[in-house]
Structure 1
Amino acid sequence: MILYEYPFNERVRTYLRLEHLFARLGQLLGRDDALDHHFAFVTIFEIIEVAARAELKSDVLKDLEKHKQHMIAFRSNASIAQDVLEGVITQIESAFAAVNAQTGKAGASLNDNEWMTSVRSRIAIPAGTCEFDLPAYFHWQHHSPARRREDLMRWASSLWPLAQAINLLLKLLRDTGSAQKVMAVGGQFQQHLPQGRSFQLLRLRIDEQLGLVPEISGNRLIVSVRLLRPSPDDKLPVAAAEDAGFELTLCS
């Protein structure tokens, strides 16, 4: 099964982008090749760029507090495992404290690192980090993998509180949904959303063996999925005409 996710608002879209970048950074840091560490460097800059949205920190803190209050309301519910509940509340409080303790935007302290700034200014230019452009960076790439990894971890350390908070918020959001099996008739599916309820994320799982790609659109009133079939000759995908089932989850 292939999982596709579709955000219904800009805030969740930003969370998903950051989750994607943090996951990539984690994979690259675990490798030893200098080229992988170069792209880890690139990813750190991408995270800083996405996290530069002015209201991001405020949104994260508000969402954590909202989830905390929602969880606290279950403390008197006898059907809820209280030890598990308290563990989740503790995680939320810890994430809130870590993000709140940071001054400014995530990764802002790296802007004061003149050497990193010099690399950042060249890294977006095609082949801008060649040895004749940035000899000091070329020299850094010849350090041992352990030395490079230590440097990257140190530079990325100011980003980890945001990463932990984003991962927790998305986990809590995904846990609110219940999967349902639906059918796209003639490659088309639409579902009206209930009034008075605001959904933030759609999750769609489809069997890889079907060879179909879902094109998802939606708003607070309706969700639409159009199934496409990739073209074998590098052309754009074409609309599928057959019936096909998939799993749909709406998270609020």
Structure 2
Amino acid sequence: MNERIRTMLRLEDLFARFDHFADKQESHDHHAALMVMFEIMEVASRADLKSDLIQELERQKHTLEALRNNPQIAEDALDQILNDIEHASAKLLEMVGRIGQYLRDNEWLMSIKQRTSIPGGACEFDLPSYYYWQRKPADARQADLRDWIAPLTPLQDGFAIVLHLLRDSGKAMHYTARNGVFQQMSGGKIVQLLKVSLEESYACVPELSANKYAINVRFTHPVTGQDKPRQFEGDVEFNLTYCNL
């Protein structure tokens, strides 16, 4: 519901994709991991993400510390999340300069990034040194990928905590979208994240739009092949969760 949370969600998806491809053995998978790393670099540098994360983690730390001695709170779980927050904050504070600048200073990596912006621009005759790297043993390529991504992982640790707390902050409510459409007045209520869940048997996808006055959910048939988007004809039972830190 705001650009800061959307940035974290984008990075969450990108880091997951990087891990997926980097853990594999084939050079084509490692090429994909490298392309995802360039995306992470660009997305992470667009906003003042580091300071936002540090401030949010500090705010959550104070909120959670106030729960001590609450009989409904498990002390060991509380200690664990507070330790995770302190560790993540310390690692973020150790990051200096522009996010990903060390990658921009690597001329070899930037030459690959520049050539891959051209369709088919990373062939062996375009980037012979990159072709040589792709023929190195898989464990050597994996070690390089992990070394290159390592300075960015404090961001991953930070937003993982924030998104975990955010997702767990809401309570799911059950609703029915009549003829695939649902609207609810929000009454000025501040929401940072909306979660929609439904049974896969419906074979439809939610499209959301919202402002400070109302939340609209429209279910449509998935677009496949040459189909055009069209509204789902039947009623849809779904859960909607309002999440806010």
Under a length normalisation based on structure 1, what TM-score does the superposition of the two structures give?
0.93
Partner in structure 1 of residue 222 of structure 2: 230
Structure 1 residue 219 and structure 2 residue 211: aligned? yes
- List gaps (5 residues or longer) in structure 2: none
Aligned counterpart in structure 1 of residue 113 of structure 2, from 112, 117, 120: 120
Task: Determine the C-alpha separation between the residues in 2 that align with 1:105 and 1:215.
Answer: 35
Distance (whole Å) between structure 1 residues aligned to residue 225 and residue 145 of structure 2: 41
SS at match of 1:238: coil
The question of 1:17 aligning with 2:14 is answered no
| Paired position in structure 1 for 2:63 | 70
Matched ranges for 1:34-183 at <5 A? 34-183=27-176
Q: C-alpha distance in 2, partners of 1:231/1:29?
A: 30
Higher RCO structure, 1 or 2 (CA under 8 Å, sep 6+): 1
Instruction: Indicate the SS of the match to 2:219.
Output: strand
Q: Give the total of aligned pairs.
A: 244
For residues 32-61 of structure 1, what are the alpha-carbon distances to aligned partners after superposition, in whole Å with 9 as ceiling and x for unaligned?
A: 010000010001100000011241111111
CA distance in 2, matches of 1:141, 1:127: 16
CA–CA distance in structure 2, aligned partners of residues 239 and 27 of structure 1: 34
Q: Is the 8 A contact 1:189 1:224 kept in 2?
A: yes
Q: Aligned in 2, Cα 1:220/1:111: closer, same or farther, shift over 3 Å?
A: same
CA distance, structure 1, for counterparts of residue 95 and residue 238 of structure 2: 42
For 1:104 and 1:182, locate their aligned partners in 2 and report how far apart those are by CA, in whole Å: 47
Q: Residue in 2 aligned with 1:30?
A: 23
1:213 CA drift (Å): 1.4
Aligned to 1:198: 190
Task: Report the counterpart of residue 3 of structure 1 in structure 2.
Answer: none
Q: Structure 1 residue 233: deviation in Å?
A: 5.3
Which residue number in structure 2 is paired with residue 4 of structure 1?
Answer: none
Shift of 1:240: 1.7
In angstroms, what is the RMSD of aligned CA positions? Answer: 1.3
Change (3 A) 1:106 1:231: closer
Taking structure 2 as the reference length, the TM-score comes to 0.96
Matched to 2:190, the amino acid is S
Shift of 1:30: 0.9
Opposite residue 206 of structure 2, the aligned amino acid is P
Deviations 1:42-83 (A, max 9, x none): 011000000112411111111111111110111142321122
1:28 and 1:134 map into 2 onto residues whose CA distance is: 21
